[in-house]
Amino acid sequence: MKTIIKLSILIICILSLSNCKKEKTEKSITIKNSEVYELDLMAGGDEEGASITTQAEFFEISEINRDSSTYWSPIYKYKPLPDYVGTDFVEIEACTGGESTGCSNIEIVRIHFTVTK
């Protein structure tokens, strides 16, 4: 009986993962080292969200905020180091289309920054 339950759980997990749609988005942004870049990740439901999977290197601010000030949508904010000039990179995973069992769409957002004076 335990084997049947374990097998059933495994099948449900595999079916859940196979229904998940993954998309990749690449963005190239040019920003002055005194500016702040913001990106609304458009994932406002209870099961939806976002996280940084590869953190930027040359930042004063590189974070995702999700609270009442963002109307519960995750907003990625980036500000380069004050004197930095060069390139930087961040990768974010956003989950949207969440049902009661989890998200159904995963978007990988890769942002390449060119930082100028």
Going by pLDDT thresholds of 50, 70 and 90, the confidence category of residue 82 is very high
Give the burial string for 84-104 (b: 16+ CB within 10 Å, else e): beeebebebbbbbbbeeeebb
pLDDT for 49: 86
Residues above pLDDT 70, as percent of the chain: 76
Residue ranges and CATH numbers for the domains of the chain are 21-116 (2.60.40)
Task: Give all strands of the β-sheet with 37-40 in edge-to-edge order.
Answer: 37-40, 75-80, 59-65
Give which of 92, 78, 82 is closest to 24, Cα–Cα.
Answer: 92
The per-residue pLDDT for range 30-75, each reduced to its tens digit, is: 999 999 999 998 877 767 889 999 999 999 999 999 888 888 889 9
